[in-house]
Chain A
């Protein structure tokens, strides 16, 4: 499994979604179940899956799948793999 697919799974788990391509265009305003609790669940999923520690800026900046890719890349994870 590559990083993108793992990240899709993190989103699917945290937001009660099917792991499909539409996740990649998700934004937090777009779906009602992305509330602050699901947000922290998502943070936890990402931290566990990728063994990273998100800082304050990462946590509050995590507003879309694309933003999440950027954060992973900042933490040195190869998101093209």
Chain B
């Protein structure tokens, strides 16, 4: 079918051009696959360049942002998806570091004072397009398609490099694992600069299904009115959203069309998994527990609804096309029930990281293998359980937070150690007192867009150290 040129790498070529692809809540308009493609082509036309460029796309859950993103892909560029609400100073330092050829914004939060960039004539419904007077001169690898941040809200310059094959293979594997048919319709409950949120868009486009685009939060009645009116069939959430949903009570929200719930982005308590599984069974629907990493584009493993409650606490098995194994510290494979590092192999494993513009020329450094740095084991039936994370990251309300970055922010005041507590960061300081801590908490809350109660400060005389003088995190973790 001729009209599907661009997104052909994402969209099933057999899909009906008259089928709905997206609903834009902001403009209350439906877009068919044909109309979406036309919009994407229009944007792509404006973004075409005589060489491949790096494009920063500050993406919201609306049609302008989505067509800007897909248009930049269509034009053959490499796209970095970023949080439009990132602090302006963080935006500017990312721009200064990577010097992208183009910056796309969807309107309402323009970054001020951007020198070296000219803004094209804005069109009514297209993105604002800023082009650089002097983009970074380096090569961009021909396979490089998408770059995602490893920790969204701290504005870390470390990006995950993803190829076209990474994106496509993961979209198709998710489509198959969740059995997404063309009649499915997802509500965009997560942001698209977050790999899980983006995977919802990709897997639905790959299935010829539709997505309802809204920036409303799940705690607003407008969000649920949208789900009801557009008859959404699926919802994706991270653990804290399921805690909220549990409090709201799905059955009281009058959204009978909602049949599929998926959960990823950290460990949800077994009690809640059990409850949501029961709830969805009663509704004649499904509840999927999943596991993934941005380094694997998004998804690594999925636990089918039918495996609960038997496999409560498990993240299931590797997605189709991938394999997962447990490796002991000595490199030997672990037997059933033995714990070790989870290692994933699959076509969705990233090309590698980028920490600056020079890295954009790099090819595949991973060769399809990802050491997840997550600790887990596999049971006799081949189901995986994650028992811990060895990476210095915390999952806080679905956000991946680099603990070392938080530590670095506070170290200017004195020795500081930050560890992951459940839904909270535990911050141990050899300096300051409660007045200072309140101030730091407010600053961190502001920067990370979390509530100040997400940070718990403790004064210690001396941080525990290992024999080689490094902070002994396991010992801190066992403090009462």
Contacts and interface: CB of A to CB of B under 8 A. Distances in A.
B452 A32 contact: no
B449 A35 contact: yes
B219 A39 contact: yes
A63 B220 contact: yes
Report which residue of B241, B452, B454 has the largest number of chain A beta carbons within 10 angstroms of its beta carbon.
Answer: B452
Interface in A1-32: 14, 16, 28, 32
B247 interface: yes
Interface stretch (B248-256, B283-291, B353-361, B402-410): B248-256
A35 B220 CA distance: 10
Report which residue of A16, A41, A61 has the largest number of chain B beta carbons within 10 angstroms of its beta carbon.
Answer: A16
Given A36-B241, A37-B450, A40-B244, A56 B218 contact: no
B451 interface: yes
B85 interface: yes
B187 to A, nearest CB: 14
A8 to B, nearest CB: 18
A15 B253 CA distance: 25
Contact of A60 (B248, B446, B451, B452): B248
Report which residue of B240, B244, B249 has the largest number of chain A beta carbons within 10 angstroms of its beta carbon.
Answer: B244
B401 to A, nearest CB: 14
Contact of A59 (B219, B241, B446): B219
B453 A60 contact: no
A16 B445 contact: yes
A60 B397 contact: no
A55 interface: yes
Contacts of B221: 57, 60-61, 63
B contact patch SS: helix
A71 interface: no
A16 B223 CA distance: 24
A56 B221 CA distance: 10
A38 B446 CA distance: 12
B241 A32 contact: no
Interface in B378-437: 397
B217 interface: yes
Interface in B195-223: 217-221, 223
B219 A36 contact: yes
A33 interface: yes
B224 interface: yes
Contact of B218 (A16, A36, A61): A36
B442 interface: yes
A37 B452 contact: no
Contact of B397 (A14, A37, A57): A37
B217 A56 contact: no
A39 B217 contact: yes
A38 B450 CA distance: 8
B249 A40 contact: no
A23 to B, nearest CB: 17
9 contacts: A28-B220, A32-B85, A32-B449, A35-B217, A35-B449, A37-B240, A41-B453, A57-B221, A60-B223
Given A14-B451, A32-B449, 15 more contacts: A16-B451, A35-B449, A36-B241, A37-B397, A37-B450, A39-B219, A40-B219, A40-B247, A43-B247, A56-B252, A57-B252, A59-B247, A59-B248, A60-B220, A63-B221
